[in-house]
Chains A and B, each alone.
Chain A
Amino acid sequence: MKTKRLWTTGVVVTLILAGFVSLFASASPDGLESVLLTGCETTDGEITGGTCVLQAAGDHEIGGAFADYGISFLDNEILGASLAGIIGVILTLAVATGFFWLLARGKKKEHA
């Protein structure tokens, strides 16, 4: 398979994962959170009683429009989650490609 085709296929798959498949992801706390929640009772992701490590956790320092993989100014939560995933993928692709390109570019001089 040509590199270009592999790349395009990969980008499409990744966008589908982040923009669509992610909507069906488990909403249960992940491995780390669930252990840190031991001792607490939760309802809909909010701590409602008991004592556990995560109670000490403060709010995120920045938060921001995309906090928790949603879009805060969109009323439609599903659309927000889907768009946040797609924006995240495009942004990650751009930042990573730019960063690695800068790294590789510096090396080219040594070869020349």
Chain B
Amino acid sequence: MSDLALHIPTDVVNGPTSLAFALLAAIAVGACVVKARRHLDERLVPLAGLATAFIFAAQMLNFPIAAVVSGHLLGGALAAALLGPWLGALCVTVVIVIQALLFADGAVTALGLNVVNMAVIASFAGYGVILLALKVLPRTRWGLGAAVFAASVVSVVAASAGFVLQFWLGGEEVGQSFGELAAAILGTHVLVGIGEGVITAGAVTAVAAVRPDLVHALRGSRLAQPAKETV
């Protein structure tokens, strides 16, 4: 098992690139702390903690996407939909740090790379798509579900594009050309994103059905209830 770790492992991306992204991650996380704090209500704290623990658990649940390939939730779109992109990115960052320090999942030297991809890029890309999609889709359970699904797919592919960029800057291609690797990474993560989309849409619409006020992306509005639906 030890050869296969999730997330970017040790020495796949070189030192200078890892360091540059560590600085970038530190700046981004610092900005998230400042912005998240402004809107953080004390009553929201236990739920933000729960969302973080849920993402940790969900990242353990690899689902098959092809014969010998699996995917797991990144959680950026979920956290951003429920808590907004700033606090959402912090949730995923906490998960990635715990995984790297205690579970040997993702290299310590790759923390910056992984935080930029899975926490920062995924949360903000996901949130942007939800807001855009909710402008055109109806504010019903299905509309929200479709928006969150699309946001999840985009967030995962965008995060994997972050890796492609990092690998282009500081990786060494072996056994396949950079183009082949990039196409394979992006293509595989469309499938991972579809899995993520199904789980995330289910989770967010479930919360929206009982407590729409806890779905940040709805910005305080309730879902329109079709006449027949009883939730």
Closest B residue to A101 by CB, please name it: B45
Check if A30 is an interface residue, CB within 8 A of chain B: yes
A18 to B174, Cβ gap below 8 A?
no
What residues of A have a CB within 8 angstroms of the CB of B46 in the complex? 3, 7, 97
Check if B152 is an interface residue, CB within 8 A of chain A: no
* A11-B53, A27-B62 known; A34 vs B98 contact (CB < 8 Å): no
Q: How far, in Å, is A96 (CB) from chain B's closest CB?
A: 4
A30 to B160, Cβ gap below 8 A?
no
B11 to A60, Cβ gap below 8 A?
no
A104 to B37, Cβ gap below 8 A?
yes
Residue among A47, A59, A63, A106 having the largest count of chain B Cβ atoms under 10 Å: A59
Number of interface residues of B (CB under 8 A): 79
A95 to B98, Cβ gap below 8 A?
yes
B61 to A45, Cβ gap below 8 A?
no
A1 to B105, Cβ gap below 8 A?
no
A14 to B104, Cβ gap below 8 A?
no
A60 to B104, Cβ gap below 8 A?
yes
18 contacts between A and B (CB under 8 A): A3-B43, A14-B50, A14-B53, A25-B60, A26-B64, A31-B70, A31-B71, A53-B172, A53-B174, A53-B181, A68-B2, A69-B60, A96-B53, A97-B49, A100-B40, A101-B42, A106-B37, A107-B38
Q: Give A residues with C-beta under 8 Å from B.
A: 1, 3, 6-7, 10-11, 13-15, 17-18, 21-22, 25-40, 42, 44-47, 50-64, 66-69, 84-85, 88-97, 99-101, 103-108
* Inter-chain pairs besides A25-B70, A61-B10, 7 sampled, C-beta below 8 Å: A14-B54, A25-B72, A57-B3, A58-B9, A62-B108, A90-B53, A97-B45
